[in-house]
Amino acid sequence: MADVAENLWTAHPTHTLRAGTDFDLAAFDRNGTPGWAGDKRQAKAFMAQRGKLLSELQERLFADGRTGGDRSVLLVVQGLDTAGKGGIVRHVLGMVDPQGVSLRSFGVPTAEEKRHHYLWRIRRALPEAGRIGVFDRSHYEDVLVVRVEDLVDEDVWSGRFDEINRFEQKLADSGTTIIKVALMVSYEEQGLRLMERLDRPDKYWKFNPGDVDTRKSWDAYQAAYSDVFARTSTDVAPWHVIPADRKWYSRLAVTELLTKALVDLDLDWPRPRWKVETQKRRLAATMSEASVAEAEASAGQTLAEVRAAEAQFDAAVARAAALAQRPPAQTPAAASGDRPGPTDETVKDEVSTKDRADDADQTAAGDGRRQAQKRPKAKKSADGQKAKKGKDRRRSKKGEKAAKTKKGKKKASVGR
């Protein structure tokens, strides 16, 4: 496995994105690419490399589960509408064998779920041994939307933080590695992503009028998320807060966190509970002499290939483990997660047509709309930086086509 761009990670997301006691969501740059010194194209190349490693690691986890192991991984993905939760599932988990992944999305509780404790539906959805479980939204909705929408009294939701911590501690003790990621999109970017859904007939299905109401509660959600990070980022289940204005970065960062979790499991292939030679003899007795001879002739080469692949795997794991040790640089910029990302001009030049198609729902309309966004004052500095970037945002080929069909050659926009 060639080392495409490992050194472009100057610091591992487990260090740069982890919400510690001093984490300040209001000051968080949602357009940053903390720890990553490369651009979007390099990120994609690195993801492809990680995909191979991830899928090998996942196969070991699956094999471990099949042979009595009790380990599993749970990736909890939180974020407001348009933050890119679905993209994480598609682009990160999409790199591994779907048989080893159990995905569960949590929406408004059903009538049956409402009759139970809020953790009831969560417990039923936990990954079996050997699986990577993914929660698209989770029990955290029970201290987020439930709080913001005033669905239960404060004394109820406020007691849930400790309850969740205890629940996650038990889960970790039972063999589940918990990775919690919160995708944090900026107010302005969320507006653009929602508006694009309204600009594109092929994305109407993603829009829900309630999204605009939720957006009106932006500040309340930010306060609720801040409390979630302050109260439930524990040693066994820390929060990683992911800047989500650049989808390619959030996918890259989550990939690296997942890779680390699997590397840390330090799994080997399960040993057989039977003797290989005995089973070979038994099988050979059922085969023709010619087939036995053919199998014997290729056995040596097969084993050599397996050993070579294992050596490459071991080297990749060692590099991934070393990368996970990489702490943030002690410069003020790196410490605040402010490492400058690639300019959009660079990305524009480098990005391929396929990349554009991949990012179809990441594109947005131009400056005029950007200026028109009303947003909370606290977001000003990060948004200011974002506005520069906005000039160069690209509309995907698909989006362009849809827009042109509907409104001639001008960019599409409802009510403008």
Cα end-to-end distance, the chain, whole Å: 51
- CA–CA separation, 11 and 325 (whole Å): 8
In this chain, which residue has its C-beta nearest to ligand ADP? 141
Sheet-wide strand order for 132-136: 101-105, 132-136, 72-79, 176-184, 239-243
- CA–CA separation, 383 and 206 (whole Å): 25
State in angstroms the smallest separation of the CB of 191 from ligand ADP. Answer: 16
- CB closer to ligand ADP out of 61 and 83: 83
- CB closer to ligand ADP out of 137 and 215: 137
Please check whether residue 370 is in contact with residue 387, taking contact to mean a CB–CB distance below 8 angstroms: yes
State in angstroms the smallest separation of the CB of 206 from ligand ADP. Answer: 8
State in angstroms the smallest separation of the CB of 118 from ligand ADP. Answer: 6
Point out which residues bind ligand ADP (CB under 6 A).
Answer: 81, 85, 106-109, 137, 141-142, 145-146, 208
Tell me which amino acid residue 4 is. Answer: V
Torsion over CA of 132, 133, 137 and 143, rounded to 10 degrees?
-110
State in angstroms the smallest separation of the CB of 277 from ligand ADP. Answer: 53
State in angstroms the smallest separation of the CB of 144 from ligand ADP. Answer: 7
CA-closest candidate to residue 264, choices 324, 309, 202: 324
Bridge partner list, 74:
133, 178
- CB closer to ligand ADP out of 85 and 247: 85
Backbone angles phi, psi at 132, to 5 degrees: -100, 115
Bridge partner list, 75:
134, 179
- CA–CA separation, 23 and 19 (whole Å): 5
Backbone angles phi, psi at 73, to 5 degrees: -125, 140
- CB closer to ligand ADP out of 30 and 85: 85
Planar angle of CA 192, 195, 201, nearest 5 degrees: 135
State in angstroms the smallest separation of the CB of 114 from ligand ADP. Answer: 9
- CA–CA separation, 137 and 371 (whole Å): 31
- CB closer to ligand ADP out of 109 and 175: 109
Please check whether residue 182 is in contact with residue 79, taking contact to mean a CB–CB distance below 8 angstroms: yes
- CA–CA separation, 258 and 38 (whole Å): 20
- CB closer to ligand ADP out of 146 and 320: 146
State in angstroms the smallest separation of the CB of 223 from ligand ADP. Answer: 16
State in angstroms the smallest separation of the CB of 219 from ligand ADP. Answer: 16
